[in-house]
Every structure is written in structure tokens, then in C-alpha cells.
Amino acid sequence: MAKETLSITDNRTGKQYEIPIEEGGVIRAAALRDIKTSAEDFGLMSYDPAFTNTASCRSRITFIDGDKGILRYRGYPIEELAEKSNYIEVAYLIVKGELPDRKHYAAWESNITTHTMIHENVKKFMEGFRYDAHPMGMLVSTIGALSTFYPEAAQINDLESRRLQTRRLIGKVPTLAAFAYRHTRGLPYVYPQNDLSYTGNFLSMLFRMAERDYKPNPILERALDVLFILHADHEQNCSANAMRSVGSSQVDPYSAVAAATAALYGPLHGGANEAVIRMLVEIGSPKNVPDFIKGVKEGKRRLMGFGHRVYKNYDPRAKIVKKIAYEVFDVTGRNPLIDISLELERIALEDDYFVSRKLYPNVDFYTGVTYQAMGFPMEMFPVLFAIPRTSGWMAQWAEMVRDPEQKIARPRQVYIGEQTRHWTPIEHRPEPTMREDAVSDQI
């Protein structure tokens, strides 16, 4: 029988090494350290900027097969969950590992609901933001500020504390998000209403005006719930990696979720849905699509909402979002920007530039047009991503905390700077013109 090992010959020394292959295709990077030219040698290490081929953990939460376009949470296909489940149940599944029975579902829902209120001081704190503050910036800082309200959250090795902070975060993030939105609109904050569903309550906190009984439109409520399911987790993406990396210092989970939210803010990650709408508005009409695509192919632009580090096929979430977009349009009226999206997709999927690089629509390509039709301003789009992703971050964090193999995250580097130099008095340093060249590529 073939051995599950990798044989390496170090041509510098002629020595041979045998490294075990684990899990059907993984070698331990630390095994490379044994490959040395002398006892003093540090040993080999792998160089992998942006971790394109490095597994940082063993995880049981989310499975992606990027070539086949498969996404599963805890083994359940995303298509089934989007069709049959709801976000609260999916959050339970992601955090706890199994679907809840009736009793546990009711307890979980009630636990989340009772944690939707926030301390009045948080509200005052939010009032300090400028009227035009980006809601995602407000969310990053207020989530971080929550750690000062719950200092016991620092007990990260205490199971009950971890459970409590998880319920609090999943419950409170929508409230913070809605308050951030109301702040930008100069509207009074709407307090949580516990007889509504998770998404229904969120819509109420956002859009309720002077109605005696606010009833969210059930189709929009369900559409948002499905969008929340689709965004709940996505294994080791930039923000999950931030959550684990920051959390590995054993800081409290509020600080780590603030870091993860900050990671999500960027236009290459959760900020992409906002960037997609800005791009569609700039393109203006389907007839301008060929020119835009030309610019993308010339490297002047990126086609936002396209491409993915892991998916080299149609993102399964994008297929579901596209369907939801039309269900939403049936209620709200068609968002005319969808015509530009469809034309971009049509042209890109026929073009060798995109085909050869396996660039397909990702989840963000159709979410923006859907959110916009539902009445969300663009700045809220990344916030809408952060709310459901909180359950994924907490699951990733808890898995990391419990994993005996994990330690503080601390990558190596390949140092390419100067070797030892000695300080010289300022009058003996090179002329400014010569120095400018040396420092021009620094910050």
C-alpha cells in the first residue's frame, strides 16, 4: 500500500527526509524546520503571503469546495438551509454544531431576544459620532466599547462566559447596527421589540416611524433572513482570520469581534457589496458595460462582486441572492441597476479574461441591488454582512479557544532589510536628495 508520506531530498546536503501527509493532503509546516544544513541552521520554512496555501486551523464549522461551488455549514448544504431554515436556527447550528430540537430552539431564540437591549450609555456614546459617520465605522467602535460594559468577558476559558457573550453579541449587534443607521438619519432610536422575529425586529429598529404597530413586510423579512443565512459563516476568510488571530492573544470576544468587523469593512471583503453599487451607478447604463469591462481587462479597475480566493466556480450564495433579488423586486419594484449587473455578468462570463482566471459572481454581486431595493442606503450594506457573520465569528473563536493545538498567532517573516548599521550624527548623513530616493517607497 502506498505510504502517506512525502520524501524530500535536500540537494544542499544530500540528506533525505520523510514527512507524514495528514488528512489526505496536509503536511505540517513545522516539519520543514528539521531540514537544515547544520545544527545552528534555523531550518526551512514556507513562505506564503496572504496564506493562499496555508491551513491555519482544523475546523468543523464550514466546508467549501471552491472548484465545485459547494458550501455547507456543519455538513448541511447552503441551498437546503436557505430554503428551509431561518437565521436564528442556522446561528445555533453554526455555534453549537447541531440543529436544535424544539426545546433548545425556543431557549436559544428567547436567550438571543433577551439580549437585544443595550446599555443606555452605549446610546449616548453613539450620539457622539458626526451626523455623516459611516455606520460600519460606528459599529466597529461600539462593538469594541461593549467590552468595557462586560469585563467578565475576559474569562475566555469559562464556558458559561463564552456562551453568554455569544448570545449577547448575536442579540446586540443588530441593535447597534440599527442605532448607527438611525443616527445617520437624525432619527430617534427604536428599541428592540421582542415579539418580532430576529430580522423583523431589526427592520423595526431601522424603519419604524410613528406607527402604533410596526409590521415588517413578510416577504422582505424572509428575504433578509435568507440573506443572513447566506452570510453567517465562510470558513477562514479575512475577518474570520482576524477574529482568530486577535482572539488568540486571549483578548475578550468583543475586542476580537470589533477587529473582525474592521476586517470586514474593507472593499475587498464585506465592503464589496457597497463598492458594487458605486460601480453600477458609475457605469450608469448597460450600454456602457463593454467600455467598463475593457478598463477592467486593462487592469485599470476591478469588477467588484466578481472573483473569490476560494470559489473558482459560481459562488452558490450568489445564485440564491439572484433569486431573492427578484422576490424582493416583486414587492419593492425593480431596481434598474440589475440590468447593468446582468449585462456585466453576461459579458464577463463569455470573456476569456474572466473565464481563464475563473472569475465568477460572488455573494456581493447581487446583494447590493437587493438591499438597495429594500430601502437600505449603501453605507449599511457591509453592516448587513456583519450582523449575521457575528455567529460565524463566535463559532470560529470558540473553536480556536478550545483547540489545544492553537497558540497566539504569530507568523514568521523573511527579513529582507539592512543588516547591522551604526548610527551616525545628523550632519554626517547623506544629502536630502539622495535620501529621498531611499525613503520614497516607505509610507
Work out whether 296 is an interface residue with ligand CMC (CB under 6 A): yes
Distance from C-alpha of 91 to C-alpha of 231, rounded to nearest angstrom: 10
Q: Does 305 bind ligand CMC (CB under 6 A)?
A: yes
Name residue 274's amino acid.
E
192 forms part of the interface with ligand CMC (CB under 6 A): no
Q: Least distance (Å) from ligand CMC to the CB of residue 366?
A: 12
Which of 268, 281, 331, 355: binder of ligand CMC (CB under 6 A)?
A: 268
- Residues 308-367 within binding reach of ligand CMC (CB under 6 A): 308-309, 357, 359, 362-364
Binding status of residue 225 toward ligand CMC by CB under 6 A:
no
Minimum CB separation from ligand CMC for residue 191, in Å? 31
C-alpha grid cell, residue 175: 441593535
Catalytic: 308?
yes
CB of 241 to ligand CMC, least distance (A): 11
Binding status of residue 304 toward ligand CMC by CB under 6 A: yes
Candidate ranges 38-46, 66-74, 219-227, 263-271; the one touching ligand CMC (CB under 6 A) = 263-271
CA distance 351 to 195: 50
Q: Which residue has the cell 463569455?
A: 350
Active site annotation includes 269 = yes
State the nearest-atom distance from the C-beta of 403 to ligand CMC, in Å: 23
Q: Which residues, at least 6 apart from 277, have a Cβ–Cβ distance to it below 8 Å?
A: 337, 368, 369, 372, 378, 381
* AA letter at 78: I
- C-beta closer to ligand CMC: residue 66 or 137: 66
Asked if 306 contacts 359 with a C-beta cutoff of 8 angstroms, the reply is yes
Long-range contacts of 322-326, Cβ-Cβ distance < 8 Å, separation of 24 or more: 322/361, 322/366, 324/223, 324/226, 324/227, 324/370, 325/366, 325/369, 325/370, 325/373
Q: Does 253 bind ligand CMC (CB under 6 A)?
A: no
Among 269, 321, 325, 341, binds ligand CMC (CB under 6 A): 269
For 361-374, the DSSP string reads B-THHHHHHHHHHT
Active site residue 231: no
The one among 170, 178, 303, 325 contacting ligand CMC by CB under 6 A: 303
In the structure grid, which three cell numbers stand for residue 266, read together? 474593507
Q: Given the complex with ligand CMC, which of 26 and 268 has the nearer CB atom?
A: 268
Judged by CB under 6 A, does residue 61 bind ligand CMC?
Answer: no
Q: Which residues pair with 16 in a beta bridge?
A: 9
Q: Is residue 328 within 8 Å of 374, Cβ to Cβ?
A: yes
Of 205 and 324, nearer to ligand CMC (C-beta) is 324
Considering 115, 134, 231, 308, which one is annotated as catalytic? 308
Q: Which stretch binds ligand CMC (CB under 6 A): 214-222, 267-275, 281-289, 366-374?
A: 267-275
Q: Which residue has the cell 437565521?
A: 87
Non-local CB neighbours of 75 within 8 Å, separated by 6+ positions: 63
Site string for ligand CMC, 77-116 (x = CB under 6 A): ----------------------------------------
Question: Which residues from 205-224 bind ligand CMC, rule CB under 6 A?
Answer: none
Buried-exposed string 233-245: b where 16+ CB fall within 10 A, e elsewhere:
bbbbbbbbbbbbb
With contacts defined by CB under 6 A, name the span among 128-136, 140-148, 281-289, 297-305 that binds ligand CMC. 297-305
Q: Which residues of 261-278 are buried (b: 16+ CB within 10 A; e: fewer)?
A: bbbbbebebbbbbbbbbe
Segment contacting ligand CMC by CB under 6 A, of 31-39, 282-290, 299-307, 338-346: 299-307
DSSP labels, 163-194: HHHHHHHHHHHHHHHHHHHHHHHTPPP----T
Q: Under the rule (CB under 6 A), what is the footprint of ligand CMC? A: 237, 268-270, 272, 296, 302-309, 357, 359, 362-364
Q: Please identify every residue annotated as catalytic.
A: 269, 308, 364
